[in-house]
Amino acid sequence: MAMIPILILAAGQSRRMRGRDKLLEDVGGVPLLRRQIEMAKGTGQQVFVAVPPDAMARRAIIDESKATPLISADADEGLSASLRSGVAQLPDAPAFLVMLGDLVALETADLVAVLDARDSAPDALIWRGTTADGKPGHPILFDASLRPAFADLAGDKGADTLVQRYASNTHLVALPDARARFDLDTPEDWDAWRLTRT
């Protein structure tokens, strides 16, 4: 498999967590961000993490995990700014994988499935994970030819407009259950989820 950098988006402000940082929430005995980095590293690919400049606790986790931090100076502008900055700082590669940092149910096998789809569907420009019933989610693998378009992203919609533009060139990869979209945005979400795991 070609070397494909993985970009974890971890520059959000967890506003709905009312003072808690969801990327620091405990998952299986480690902070969520640490879990996500280790999961991504399990693919054998190089892992990069987009973070705001003042997120020192997140930076410490990234450094301990030996991933590469990518500082997103304009992270407070929204997801598009983090993507703009993060993608611009990635090394040259034939493609790059983007994943949200808070998708707590994703597994290494899911990332590998999307990475492998590049070989099985070589005519696509985007390879995207979906839920088992076909709802689009993450991770998303982008061909390197789309990289310049990330410089024009704006707002808090991430790469939605770009993905929509290339819908006919997108290959969907069904992942188990709702892993591609399952996140926990509030303290109540986290409490309810933990009850299902006890």
pLDDT of 116 over the 90 cut: yes
How sure is the predictor about 159, in pLDDT bands with cuts at 50, 70 and 90?
confident
- pTM higher than the cut 0.75: yes
pLDDT of 1 over the 70 cut: no
Domain boundaries, the chain: 6-196
Cα separation of 94 and 89, whole Å? Answer: 15
How sure is the predictor about 140, in pLDDT bands with cuts at 50, 70 and 90?
very high
Residue 91 φ/ψ, nearest 5 degrees? -70, 160
Q: Give CATH for domain 6-196.
A: 3.90.550.10
With beta carbons less than 8 A apart as the criterion, state whether 102 and 8 touch: no
Cα separation of 161 and 97, whole Å? Answer: 17
pLDDT tens readout for residues 10-39: 987 766 767 688 899 889 889 999 999 999
The rounded mean pLDDT for the chain is 90
pLDDT tens readout for residues 65-97: 999 999 987 777 778 888 899 999 999 999 999
pLDDT at 198: 59
